[in-house]
Chains A and B, each alone.
Chain A
Amino acid sequence: MRIEVIIQLLIALSFTITWFLAPLWSLKSNIYSQDLTPLGFSITFLNHRYFLFIPNTITALTYIVVSAVIPLIWRGSRYSLYLSLFALSLGIMLIITALIFQSRYLFYGGYSILSTATGYMYIKIPYKTYFNVPLYLLIILFIVTTVNAVTRARWIRMRRLTIIEEALIIARISNPVNAVRKALDKLGIQYKVIDNSLIIDDLAIIGGSAEKRPADVKEYVLFTERNSIYFDGSTITELSTEQGILLALSKSLMKGRPGRMEAIEYA
């Protein structure tokens, strides 16, 4: 799972939580206010509260969450990232339609002229509109999603361990045979497992516990608890564990047959 996709999901989740805590957009005046919440417009007039539900905002929020979840579920193709960007764009469009809805149906001019029993009343109520934290998170989310779609979620240039480095680390943690086996999996080289030993063609990679040497094997690398032994059919050479792993890998590369590669994400 790519870290870029996780970042996208985390921003989308923080956007969702923030929007429930603070309105994305709000209009404020001394007697009247409108807040754009995930469920619609929260309207306050002279301390009377009214909630206008509109489906745009909750759908927009759903689209934005779905947009962040799509790359986690569908990892096989880059179209997953394109669909994610498309869903996010639709979510943003739905928020824009909510704002258009506001200016169309909840228009508030900043003044009011009312008739009274003996004349008229003119109230000037200047207002200000604000965008809040959720909008800024949404902008960041849009940028990250776009970059993910363009770079196939490969914009963080993180140095990954080489197969040899990884094998040496695994050897230290578990045992050398396991390390070689993981490395062969990554390289996509076929092998057989017999009694905790790996058989590649006529090469055997034998752990310290396996006392019996498999039959029809010309050469083998044997890992003992402290070091390793290489037998090339005629002579025995004593090597360190690290040297044994390297030798086992290079011999396997020459003798092995290509197998199934690990799948590449967002190919």
Chain B
Amino acid sequence: MTPFKTFILSSIILTIIALIVTYGATQLTESIHPATMVTPFVDIEGANVTGEGLIIKLIVSNATGNITITGGYAEILETGQSSSLNVTGPLTLEAVYPLMPQYVNLSTIGIKGLVSGTFYGDPMYIGFFLVAPIHVSISMWVSNVHYNNCLLNMTISYSTPIPIVINSFTNVTLIDDTESEYVFYTIGNISKSILLAPGVNSTSITMNVGEIPNTRVFSCSLTTGHLYTLYLPITVTYIYPTTSITTQLTLYKAFIAGG
């Protein structure tokens, strides 16, 4: 066999082996599987209504590996409010939203947003959409009434996350239900300007009925054991951070004198 023939034959053998090997390699792709990892997600830890506003607390759950949280933002869908998230712990974030009138009617809110951070030193973003229950209630009630020497002393209790101003009382009426007769009634508005700070608290209001104009006073004291009812229509202004809403409320209190 000449060297040239040896060369050609060896070349063909080497080429065929290389072809078989290359084809064989493609058969190994069945052993390739996509890698899986535990994915962290953003969950809600709390949505609380306080005097400061609506505080949303978020937590990154299921966090494995080297994750650091650097910030992000969250938007309340119902109000369109958007706020950046403040990092409060290794995996917790917080956002504060000023209270708005819409919140009073809502039982749940939708929160969507993005948490940014690093995953093993590389940029990472976790998008989320969460639904959180909230309860924003503003309530006012008359908790106590004293009437003596034509002095009406009443305690108005309230629970509110926002400041409220009592503007005026209208047609205040105290009725002796036992005898079915007026103790006094006023006609028209009595202007007041009483600021109720946010929180759960009460305030005392004293009025000298005898000195109020357009007032009919039938009695300057209460009879012990009789049932009385105080009607107190008031005009109040809810002071939201962005707007103020003025509305009318009627408070009333039924009580037994001296009881």
* Chain A contact residues, CB within 8 Å of chain B: 29-32, 45-46, 48, 52-56, 59, 63, 74, 76-80, 82-83, 86-87, 90, 93-94, 97-98, 101, 105-106, 114-126
Contacts and interface: CB of A to CB of B under 8 A. Distances in A.
B28 A80 contact: no
A79 B3 contact: yes
Main secondary structure of the interface of A (DSSP, over half): mixed
Contacts of A125: 119-120, 122
Given A46-B37, A121-B40, A80 B125 contact: no
B127 A124 contact: no
Nearest to B22: A97
B122 A115 contact: no
A118 B128 contact: yes
B66 to A, nearest CB: 9
Interface string B72-110: 000000000000000000000000000000000000000
Interface stretch (B13-21, B156-164, B231-239): B13-21
Given A55-B21, A105-B29, 6 more contacts: A79-B3, A94-B18, A101-B26, A117-B41, A117-B62, A124-B124
Nearest to B8: A79
Given A55-B24, A119-B126, A126-B122, A105 B32 contact: yes
For the complex of A and B, list the 8 residue pairs with the smallest distance between their C-beta atoms, beginning with the closest.
A77-B3, A116-B41, A79-B7, A119-B128, A79-B3, A119-B127, A30-B120, A117-B41
Contacts of A55: 21, 24-25, 28
Nearest to B3: A77
B179 to A, nearest CB: 64
Contact of B25 (A77, A83, A101, A120): A101
Nearest to B123: A124
Given A29-B122, A31-B120, A115-B39, A46 B65 contact: yes
Contacts of A29: 122
A122 B124 contact: yes
A183 B6 CA distance: 34
Nearest to A56: B25
A244 B94 CA distance: 107
A67 B123 CA distance: 47
Given A52-B32, A98-B25, A101-B25, A116 B40 contact: yes
A105 B33 CA distance: 10
Contacts of B28: 52-55
13 contacts: A29-B122, A55-B24, A79-B7, A86-B11, A86-B14, A90-B14, A94-B21, A106-B32, A118-B129, A119-B41, A119-B126, A121-B126, A123-B119
A218 to B, nearest CB: 46
Contacts of B25: 54-56, 97-98, 101
Given A52-B28, A116-B126, A80 B41 contact: no
Interface string B48-77: 000000000000011001000000000000
Nearest to B33: A50
Contacts of A119: 41-42, 126-129
A121 B41 contact: yes
B124 A123 contact: yes
B130 A94 contact: no
Given A53-B28, A94-B21, A117-B62, A122 B11 contact: no
A256 to B, nearest CB: 31
